[in-house]
Amino acid sequence: MQLLSPTLKEISLHGTKSFPCAIYHTRSTGKGTLVKHHWHDEVEILYFSDGEFRLEINMEQYFVPSEALYFINPGELHSIYTEKTSDSGEDAIVFSLDTLSFDSYDAAQMQLIQPIQNGKMLFPRCLLPDHPGFLSVRNAFLETMHSFGHTPSKETFLENGVVTDDLTNQLFIKSSLLRILAVLSRYQLFTPTEKNLDKRVEGIKTVLTYIRENYKEKIYIQDLAAQVHMNEQYFCRFFKKSIGRSPMEYLNEYRIKQAMRLLKETDLPVMEVCLECGYNNLGNFLRAFKKHTETTPLKYRNHSHEDGKSF
């Protein structure tokens, strides 16, 4: 997950400032969480080449039994789980609609791109192979991946995304994304936004934002419950039902993820990493780190420096 600002927006860009578009290829070798709960202001298009996945989007579950394309609208809380015990994965294109905006206010800008940017128009939830527009959208999706220099394969793992600053590639990417919008528009698959705001989703996003902004400090259940004006017992049930683990489990996972990042990207001593990530006791930190990574901080750092990536 990316770090968020107080307005619930991601600080990190998908792509670059001049071309906010990136691709991701995420794989797993076993059943379980493939992509943890997160959200962003960009549009995301997911492609599953085969099935046995479960998506959670704004607390609704969607089962993917076979090949499919799914669309994540800006601001939607989502996560992905794989139901397979063998290698499985998904490809994603994450892009800002600014990439496709026009200076001249033509019909595409006024009737489609701007309404999506303003939250008044939504992408369809999914597109399946039996839909007449599926092949066209899938081909444009794969052409976009190819323009980034990536062809989906079981051997490739893109954790942090791939970007491009090549002008020709960017033109091909923009044309492919516009073609996807054109096909969806042809079949009238965009829908007006319903104004019913799901307070549960906003509540979870508020709590996750609080954790990300305060994980270096002591955080108690009562602090988290207060963010959504719930008593502690009800909040714990609400959070676990929404996220799939307890608030403190999520907090510890997030702290360890930040520790992994610091171990990989800095030369801070382990004790300082421990303190930076909200642990006041080195023993507790070492036990939590071993539980989540099955190794020690020093071994993790050495392995990261050897491979240039985390495990």
Residue 26, token pair as written in the block:
């995420």
Contact 286, 297 (CB under 8 A): yes
What is the β-pairing status of strands 60-64 and 32-38?
unpaired
CATH 2.60.120.10 spans which residues of the chain? 21-192
Q: Helices (DSSP H) in 22-153: which residue ranges? A: 107-108, 114-117, 134-147
User: From the DSSP assignment, how many helices (H) and strands (E) are in the chain?
Assistant: 11, 12
In the sheet where 43-48 sits, what is the strand order?
Answer: 126-127, 68-72, 43-48, 88-95, 21-28, 158-162
255, burial (CB in 10 Å: exposed 0-12, middle 13-18, buried 19+): buried
d(C-alpha 163, C-alpha 166), whole Å: 9
| CATH for the stretch 21-192 | 2.60.120.10
Confidence (pLDDT) at 34:
86
CATH 1.10.10.60 spans which residues of the chain? 199-307
Confidence (pLDDT) at 51:
80
d(C-alpha 215, C-alpha 162), whole Å: 28
In the chain, which stretches have pLDDT less than 70? Answer: 1-13, 150-161, 195-197, 307-311
304, burial (CB in 10 Å: exposed 0-12, middle 13-18, buried 19+): middle
Q: Which of 202, 154, 181 is nearest to 58 (CA)?
A: 202
pLDDT single digits (tens) 219-247: 999 999 999 999 999 999 999 988 888 99
d(C-alpha 113, C-alpha 292), whole Å: 42
| DSSP helix/strand/coil, 226 | helix
142, burial (CB in 10 Å: exposed 0-12, middle 13-18, buried 19+): middle
Phi, psi of 151 (to 5 degrees): -110, 125
Confidence (pLDDT) at 3:
33
Confidence (pLDDT) at 149:
78
pTM (predicted TM-score): 0.76
What is the DSSP-derived secondary structure letter of residue 79? Answer: E
| CATH for the stretch 199-307 | 1.10.10.60
What is the DSSP-derived secondary structure letter of residue 12? Answer: S
- Tell me the residue type at 165: D
Confidence (pLDDT) at 236:
95
pLDDT single digits (tens) 17-41: 788 999 998 887 778 888 888 899 8
Q: Which of 302, 297, 300, 267 is nearest to 283 (CA)?
A: 297
Contact 145, 93 (CB under 8 A): yes
Confidence (pLDDT) at 177:
96
Residue 245, token pair as written in the block:
């683990």
Confidence (pLDDT) at 154:
35
Phi, psi of 24 (to 5 degrees): -135, 145
